[in-house]
Structure formats: C-alpha cells, structure tokens
Amino acid sequence: MKREIKHATVVITGASSGIGRAIALEFAREQAHLILAARNEENLMEITQECQRLGAKAIAVPTDTTDLSAMQKLAQTAFEQFDNKIDVWVNNAGIGTVGAFTETPLESHVQVVRTNLLGYMNGCYAVLPFFKDQGHGVVINLNSLGAWIPLPYASGYSASKFGLLGFMEALRGELANQADIHICDLYPVSVDTPGFQHAGNYTGSTLKPVPPLIAPEVVAKHAVALARSPKAQTTLGWPTYFARVGYTLFPKLSRNLVGQMFREYFQIGSPSPVTEGHIFESHRERGRVSDGHLKTQDRLSSSGLGLKPAVTAGGAALLALAFGTGIYFATRKP
C-alpha cells in the first residue's frame, strides 16, 4: 500500500545544499510538512522559504548531526510542530576527505566517520522511539557506491559508508517484528553536487566528480518514491551495480585497480592547495542543488536507473571501464 505524502511530517538533514536541498524541494512539491536541518543557518532559511513558496509548510532547525542532543531536539521539534507525529526521517548530511591515509590528519578522517556514520546513528537514535510509539515510520539513508567497493585515498569515507551499510542491516534485523517501520537506503553513483568543493583535499590535485553523473533531482525523486513505497535498498546508476558485483567477484583486483586509477587521477589533475575544506564547519557559499558539471560531463539518464544488468564476471571489466573513462573525462584538458 502506498503512503500518502501530502501533509506527512518529513525531517531532512543536510537540507541546505546538494542532494538534501533537492529532496526538500521534491517533498515540498508533494505538500509535505517539512522540518529542515543543516549547519548553515542562512542557507537553511533560504531553502525553507523556497519550500514555503511551493505551498508546503516548512520550518528550519539549525542542527549539527554529530550532536546527539541536538538531533533529539530536532526530532522533538518535528513531533510537536506537526500533528504529534513523524512520518519520514531522511539522513542525508555527509562530508568527505580525499588523500593518502597517513598524509591526511587523523582528525579529518574521524570527522568524516563522525558525520557520515555517527550522524546517521544519532538520527536513528533520535527518531526510532517516536516510530515505535506510533507504530510506523520510514528512515531514508543516503549512502553511496562507496558502500560496495573500497575507495583508496578516501579511507575515512569508505569506513563510514561500509559501516553505514552494516549498521542499517543490523537495524533491519532488530525491527523485523515492526512491520510498518522501514529502513531504506539509497546508493547513487556520482551526483552533481557542490560536495567536491567542500571536501577536505590532501592530494595536491583539483577534485572533480567522476562521471557518469546523475542529477540531485533524480536522487530526490527516488527518496520521495521510497517514502511512498519503502524498500530496503535502491541502487542508482549502472556503475554502482558493477562496483558491487566486481568487488564481490574480484576484491583484490577491484580495489587495486581503483587505487591505481586514483593515483593517475591525482597526477594528471590540475594543482590544488591542500585544504581541510568545510568538514569541521559550514561553508559560507550560497546554497545550491548542483555544481553544473552535467553541462559538460557525461551523465546517466534517469530512464536507465531502474535497469539491473546481469550479474556476470564481465561486470568487473565494465567497472574498470567505467572508472577509467570517468577519470579520463574528469581530468582531460579542454
């Protein structure tokens, strides 16, 4: 049975930019009641007003997802604000740091894990008591291709995404007797968001998303679809399927190949200063959904996202081709 989205109470973290901003707008078009959370208060107010202009009820609650007490306050605010219920909770806030493990400050790795894994745990810890009391609810988690294959030079990010996969599987086991409480995970391929500009970068090379890309709006539509018809795992983009298959069949080959490709990527990319990015505090740029790469890069069409390729050994070769082609187009000079 499909769930009604109109007037559903929906909490979204990381709502001020990128995928979270796109998800907020998509739910606003469905006339959901929105509680939007992010660190950047100015950008958060802007997206809240934009959702209100679309006819949705929306409030902004500046929140640091790494702070459990703040997340519990967010959940309580959502519950009290709209009809004493929470229908959907979207864990979306995320960050990344790229660089060799020992050449990147350990605290940067820790902050990535704190945000991408513990932040999601905080969200679930805050909202699940409400779901259990009311007997229903949907948690939607933004994971990534990085949950299926290790990403050398993004070891903290890999740890957070692999950990998130395990955490959500464990939660599903605990909630198996709660028929109407659902844990839903989204695993998109590279998405055209400003996230690469905000990441910590210890490579000495400019970071760009590796095509093929999908638009944040595509991810947002799938998030709303999960709120309406929940399912455990949704994979977006054929490289994500092949990453999962390739690493399952040939783990050593897959991880070594990806590591070598990233080394070449850093060597041929344009020079860039070392920076911790905005992983410890919010950026000051105006919030936006995308970063404009889809204008010049290869992309995946949304019409092909539901296609599930055959699980064969050829998937590993296609995975290598996908990464190799992506790095070539991401780093070639105009």
In the chain, where are the structural domains located? 9-331
Listed as ranges, residues in the chain with pLDDT below 70 are 283-284, 286-288, 290-291, 293, 295-334
Report the pLDDT value the prediction gives residue 41, as an integer from 0 to 100.
Answer: 94
Distance CA 291, CA 286 (A): 12
- The pLDDT value recorded for residue 290 is 63
The encoded tokens of residue 80 equal 């009290």
Q: Mention every residue, 6+ apart, whose C-beta is less than 8 A from residue 240.
A: 145, 148, 187, 188, 189
Catalytic residue among 120, 153, 157, 202: 157
Residue 26 buriedness (CB in 10 A; 0-12 / 13-18 / 19+): buried
What is the pLDDT at residue 111? 97
How many whole angstroms from its chain centre is CA 291?
Answer: 15
Q: What is the pLDDT of residue 329?
A: 43
Residue 209 is given by DSSP the state: P
125: annotated active-site residue: no
Those residues with Cβ within 8 angstroms of residue 69's Cβ, 6 or more apart along the chain or in another chain? none
Tens of pLDDT, residues 31-88: 999 999 999 999 999 999 999 999 999 999 999 999 999 999 999 999 999 999 999 9
Which has the closest alpha carbon to 90: 45, 117, 120? Answer: 120
The reported pTM is 0.87
**How many angstroms separate the Cα of 205 from the Cα of each of 249, 266, 272?**
31, 5, 5
Give dist(CA 264, CA 258) in Å, integer: 10
- pLDDT (0 to 100) of residue 192: 87
Residue 240, pLDDT score: 84
Place of tokens 């229908």: 87
CB atoms within 10 A of CB 131: 23
The residue among 169, 194, 213 whose CA lies nearest residue 301 is 213
> From residue 55, how far is each of 52, 113, 114 by CA, in Å?
5, 36, 35
Say which CATH superfamily domain 9-331 falls into: NAD(P)-binding Rossmann-like Domain (3.40.50.720)
Structure tokens at 20: 């979270």
pLDDT of residue 267: 85
Backbone angles phi, psi at 13, to 5 degrees: -95, 155
Q: What is the pLDDT of residue 153?
A: 96
Of residues 64, 56, 57, 7, the one with CA closest to residue 37: 64
Q: Which residue has the tokens 């019409």?
A: 303
What contacts 166, CB < 8 A, 6 or more positions away?
none
The pLDDT, as a whole number, for residue 182 is 98
Largest CA distance in the chain: 57
Residue 291 is predicted with a pLDDT of: 61
